[in-house]
Amino acid sequence: MKLRVIELRRIAMPLVGPFRTSFGTQTARDILLLKVVTDGAEGWGECGALLDPGYSDEYLAGELGVLKDYFIPTLASSRGRDRVEAHGAHAVADLLHPFKGHRMAKAVLEMAILDAELREEGRSFARELGGVVDRVPSGVSVGIFEEIPQLLDVVGGYLDEGYVRIKLKIEPGWDLEPVRAVRERFGDDVLLQVDANTAYTLRDARHLAMLDDFGLLLIEQPLEEEDVLGHAELARQVRTPICLDESIVSSQTAAAAISLGACSIINIKPGRVGGYLEAVKIHDLAVAHGLAVWCGGMIETGLGRAANMALASLPGFTLPGDVSASGRFYKTDITEPFVLEEGHIRVPTGPGLGVTPIPEILDEVTTSIEHIEF
Ligand code: OSB
Ligand code: MG
């Protein structure tokens, strides 16, 4: 395949309601989309980076800058063009390897090129990545609220919709009480887990161990992302399984965390680890070590959601992921919306992502656009 044009497009999408985590409150999602036009097809990528560097050190303008200044020029060089022509998306990570970090920017380029390649060949993302099921169980991530009754209303609504797993965002001061309240109201059968987004330290180990009474599936990323040893120590002090999100940025960091005993479950987010191909490697590594994985989310539009459904259809994704319906975050998605069917979401089967932005809706949410010709 030959690259012809790359389009960088920023969009702004209002959320159906505020989403508060231990690192801040989102009321809208600013997203970088990247479209590649090749000699045979068009492909779409969605960058996971949030507007601010609050979840990780990546942020929208930073990823846009590194794409324009380094990554796209590298692909446009004669060596870059040759490699992509010969090996498609599989050449991208290797070509960009000399540049440190910025995995979400690497991931968006790889995703768009993979989409174009697969659309050209008429193959789906799920088929390419190794998916084995037609639909995936859908979990939902629930933000922090001011008051417990509000939380219970929201959780009750999601359970009525059919979501099969609830994840509560927690932080110091909002942990035991919301978990206890959800258990008391909705019972012990609800699949329930919590996500701290690095809000605790190892000094909180005894407090976190009090969550053991509630039969949670896991505690996600309680400590800082670089505190892998701390997680290994915490895992010895709490019975609830530890799951890592922010700490796992590559198959190498996954291998280290696994051998240190820092986690028994991994949340795989393709953007955070540099792309869907690296995500599959982490899946394979986890399966080989007997760990469970699940697919995380970054409040994606239908584009990222489509690719996440494909990833979540791999056999090692044995826990329900943050693969919710479009309506969880957006009143109007830029693609045809993903909907919940008996607590599951159908994995797209069409070529590439299997979904495409609806031009009028996309234009309405676009805040800037630029083109780079090859
Ligand atoms: O930690 O999983 C997280 C959203 C933005 C940044 C980080 C996280 C999240 C979520 C929502 O929990 C996941 C989703 O449903 O997209
Ligand atoms: Mg998380």
The Cα-based distances of 352 to 75, 105, 192, 327 in angstroms read 21, 20, 33, 23
Residue nearest to atom 6 of ligand 1 (CA): 298
The pLDDT of residue 237: 98
Instruction: Tell me, yes or no, whether 216 lies in a domain.
Output: yes
Q: Does 50 lie in the same domain as 69?
A: yes
Total of domains in the chain? 2
Q: Does 165 lie in the same domain as 228?
A: yes
Q: Does 10 lie in the same domain as 95?
A: yes
C-alpha of residue 300 to centroid of ligand 1, in Å: 9
Ligand 1 contacts CB of residue 245 (under 6 A): yes
Asked if residues 125 and 117 have their Cβ atoms less than 8 Å apart, the reply is no
Q: Does 104 lie in the same domain as 231?
A: no
- Proximal ligand: closest to the CA of 297: 1
The pLDDT of residue 201: 98
pTM summary value: 0.98
How many CB atoms are closer than 10 A to CB 334? 28
DSSP 142: E
The pLDDT of residue 299: 98
DSSP 227: -
Ligand 1 contacts CB of residue 197 (under 6 A): yes
Q: Looking at this protein, which amino acid is placed at residue 185?
A: R
Q: Does 152 lie in the same domain as 90?
A: no
Atom of ligand 1 nearest to the CA of 322: 15
Asked if residues 90 and 135 have their Cβ atoms less than 8 Å apart, the reply is no
Q: Does 106 lie in the same domain as 173?
A: no
Residue 331: active-site member: no
Radius of gyration of the chain (CA): 20
Whichever domain contains 11, its CATH number is 3.30.390.10
DSSP 71: I
C-alpha of residue 306 to centroid of ligand 1, in Å: 16
Q: Does 369 lie in the same domain as 292?
A: no
- How many Å apart are CA 46 and CA 112, to the nearest integer? 8
Tokens of 163: 């979501």
Q: Does 166 lie in the same domain as 65?
A: no
The pLDDT of residue 38: 96
Q: Does 76 lie in the same domain as 100?
A: yes
DSSP 37-64: EESS-EEEEE----SSTTSSS--HHHHH
C-alpha of residue 246 to centroid of ligand 2, in Å: 7
Tokens of 231: 């997680």
The pLDDT of residue 253: 98
Write out the chain's pLDDT in tens, 374 residues.
999 999 999 999 999 999 999 999 999 999 999 999 999 999 999 999 999 999 999 999 999 999 999 999 999 999 999 999 999 999 999 999 999 999 999 999 999 999 999 999 999 999 999 999 999 999 999 999 999 999 999 999 999 999 999 999 999 999 999 999 999 999 999 999 999 999 999 999 999 999 999 999 999 999 999 999 999 999 999 999 999 999 999 999 999 999 999 999 999 999 999 999 999 999 999 999 999 999 999 999 999 999 999 999 999 999 999 999 999 999 999 999 999 999 999 999 999 999 999 999 999 999 999 999 99
Ligand 1 contacts CB of residue 26 (under 6 A): no
Tokens of 347: 């994995």
- How many Å apart are CA 69 and CA 360, to the nearest integer? 30
Cβ within 8 Å of residue 341, ≥6 positions away = 135
- How many Å apart are CA 28 and CA 181, to the nearest integer? 28
Q: Give the burial string for 289-323 (b: 16+ CB within 10 Å, else e).
A: eebbbbbbbbbbbbbbbbbbbbbbbbebbebbbbb
Ligand 1 contacts CB of residue 297 (under 6 A): yes
- Proximal ligand: closest to the CA of 58: 1
Instruction: Tell me, yes or no, whether 215 lies in a domain.
Output: yes
- Proximal ligand: closest to the CA of 295: 1
C-alpha of residue 308 to centroid of ligand 2, in Å: 15
Instruction: Tell me, yes or no, whether 351 lies in a domain.
Output: no
Q: Does 214 lie in the same domain as 165?
A: yes
Atom of ligand 1 nearest to the CA of 323: 15
Name the pairing type of β-strands 165-169 and 191-195. parallel
Tokens of 38: 């090749």
Tokens of 282: 């982490």
- 130: left (phi > 0), else alpha (psi -120 to 50), else beta? left
Q: Does 266 lie in the same domain as 143?
A: yes
The pLDDT of residue 11: 98
Residue nearest to atom 12 of ligand 1 (CA): 141
Atom of ligand 1 nearest to the CA of 140: 15
Q: Does 365 lie in the same domain as 304?
A: no
Ligand 1 contacts CB of residue 322 (under 6 A): yes
How many CB atoms are closer than 10 A to CB 188? 9
Residue 169: active-site member: yes
The pLDDT of residue 84: 97
- Residue 153 three-state SS: helix
Query: Which residue is catalytic, options 68, 169, 281, 331?
Result: 169
Whichever domain contains 275, its CATH number is 3.20.20.120
**Which domain covers residue 239, as residue numbers?**
127-346
